[in-house]
Structure 1
Amino acid sequence: MRICVFLSAADLDERYTRPARDFAELIGEGGHTLVWGGSDTGLMRVVADGVRRRGGQLVGVSVGILRQWARTDADEMVFAEDLAARKALLLAGADALVVLAGGLGTLDELTEVLELRKHGLHDKPVVLLNTEGFYDGLITQLRRMEADGFLPTRLSELFFVADSPADAFAHLEEAVGER
């Protein structure tokens, strides 16, 4: 399975790095491939290290302006023309998508893949790993959008919320196996 992970490139404390590392190790232990933003910084580094340490493959998709932070030992590294092309390559190169804690870039990636899924432009499972309740506010907003009629698709058809790395990984294995 090729698992795209959207997440922060920032250096964060243990409450975010531990679950990211745990999820990454599940990817590697399963012999799966990480498809990610390609940076060798912050949570991106933590996840790539965990996958590599447990025997998984690394496929990075970056952009020229971030080349200096690209991981040098990735099995494959692609440099997209711009951020929009990067998102398209990340989605195209994955069987499933997982969103970990992140900032505006991560939020942008999440909303784009949800919008594309809403319109039937992909059917890949999307998992939101809600570490430490990080996405509680966003989930509340999305539920309001659903309740008030702004979403033509039920939230449960767009994404799955996992509270632990193990739950996220189990959902991926089941969802990808059904496709």
Structure 2
Amino acid sequence: MDATVTAVSSTAEHVFSKENRVGIRLLAGLGVEGDAHLGETVQHRSRVARDPSQPNLRQVHLIHSELHDELRDAGFTVSAGDMGENITTRGVDLLGLPTGARLRLGDSAVVEVTGLRNPCVQLNGFQSGLMSAVLGRDENGGLIRKAGVMGVVLTGGTVRPGDPIRVELPPLPHRGLEPV
């Protein structure tokens, strides 16, 4: 299956879910135009409270639509944008990417993956039990965070549903994703 963008979402306010759009414009070094998390420095309120000068490694939030399928099978009602993601994908193992992987989205946009989204308790405010549903354990008992990945915009451009996604891996050795 080809990797594609299935939905794009943004919201100017600091709210949990984001509105689906016909397209979003990514701005190099900043994030999604008009989105509450746009900026060179951190925009997530809890991180701003700790240190507002930190670089914004969370300019773009991506979730694989396969997670939505899994959650629906488990009885949750979840659609694109509901968990705060800007870009919903299909056909890309986002969680299996190494740090520094680049996602070429559509004609020109490039997002570099910086790390995993660390699920927060706000998920339970959206739907009871959702936070534990996006956490799992590997064969060694290690925590698996399934709530998507975060990235920074290297090259701007417009991204729309149906756009192709091409993955470029960084040079070896690869580093696994950690929460950012």
TM tier, smaller: under 0.3
Per the normalisation by structure 1, the TM-score is 0.27
Per the normalisation by structure 2, the TM-score is 0.27
Higher relative contact order (CA 8 A, sep 6+): 2
More strand by share: 2
